[in-house]
């Protein structure tokens, strides 16, 4: 039995993952934020060539490195909830027809979360687009199938 205390909440964009994680944090649970939105917002301000719609491969490497750093710094002795995990990134490589990097695949093998994963399904009533979340609800639903 896996006694790992690092749990992942996953699902497509706009499915309520972050709101759920923020509420758990408010209740005193240790959490790790996804951070992708903040990274994209910063890249937009800087007009970065590594935005996901400009250079998906490089963007994914940035996100994978972030997920590894988050995993390594998170507590091993207390329950910790992650807003997304490393395996999600494999789905995002595949979404754009890219081969996942060896670094990503190795990280997924080395840095293991708890066996139980919490999945937030697509939720049309709360889904919204903006300058960061550009995909349609239909595309987000397809992404949900990939991360599942």
Looking at the domain assignment, is residue 50 inside a domain? yes
Of 1-15, 26-40, 129-143, minimum mean pLDDT range: 129-143
- 120 near 20, Cβ under 8 Å? yes
Looking at the domain assignment, is residue 128 inside a domain? yes
Which one has a higher pLDDT value, 14 or 110? 110
CATH number of the domain to which 98 belongs = 3.40.50.300
Which one has a higher pLDDT value, 11 or 130? 11
pLDDT for the residue numbered 99: 95
Looking at the domain assignment, is residue 120 inside a domain? yes
pLDDT for the residue numbered 96: 86
CA-CA distances (angstroms) from residue 28 to 21, 25, 81?
11, 5, 11
Q: 66-105: per-residue pLDDT in tens? A: 999 999 999 899 999 999 999 999 998 998 899 999 999 9
Number of domains, the chain: 1
Q: What angle do CA 14, 18, 24 make, to 5 degrees?
A: 145
- Domain span at residue 52 reads 6-147
d(CA 16, CA 83): 10
Looking at the domain assignment, is residue 1 inside a domain? no
Query: Does position 1 have pLDDT exceeding 70, yes or no?
Result: no
d(CA 96, CA 4): 31
Strand duo 80-83 + 30-32: pairing: parallel
Which pTM does this prediction carry?
0.89
pLDDT for the residue numbered 13: 86
Q: 98-138: per-residue pLDDT in tens? A: 999 999 999 999 999 999 999 999 888 888 877 677 788 88
Q: What is the mean pLDDT of the chain?
A: 92
**Token pair in block for residue 65:** 């490195």
- 38 near 132, Cβ under 8 Å? no
pLDDT for the residue numbered 136: 83
**Token pair in block for residue 33:** 């934020």
């Amino acid at each position: 039995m896996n006694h790992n205390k690092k749990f992942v909440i996953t699902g497509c964009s706009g499915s309520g993952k972050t709101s759920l994680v923020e509420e758990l944090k408010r209740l005193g649970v240790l959490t790790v934020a996804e951070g992708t939105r903040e990274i994209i917002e910063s890249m937009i301000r800087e007009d970065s060539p590594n935005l996901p719609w400009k250079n998906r491969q490089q963007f994914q490497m940035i996100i994978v490195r972030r997920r590894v750093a988050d995993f390594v710094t998170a507590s091993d002795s207390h329950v910790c909830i992650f807003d997304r995990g490393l395996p999600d990134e494999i789905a995002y490589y595949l979404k754009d027809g890219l081969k996942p990097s060896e670094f990503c695949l190795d990280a997924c093998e080395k840095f293991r979360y708890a066996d139980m994963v919490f999945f937030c399904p697509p939720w049309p009533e709360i889904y919204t687009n903006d300058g960061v979340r550009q995909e349609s609800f239909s595309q987000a639903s397809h992404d949900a199938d990939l991360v599942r």
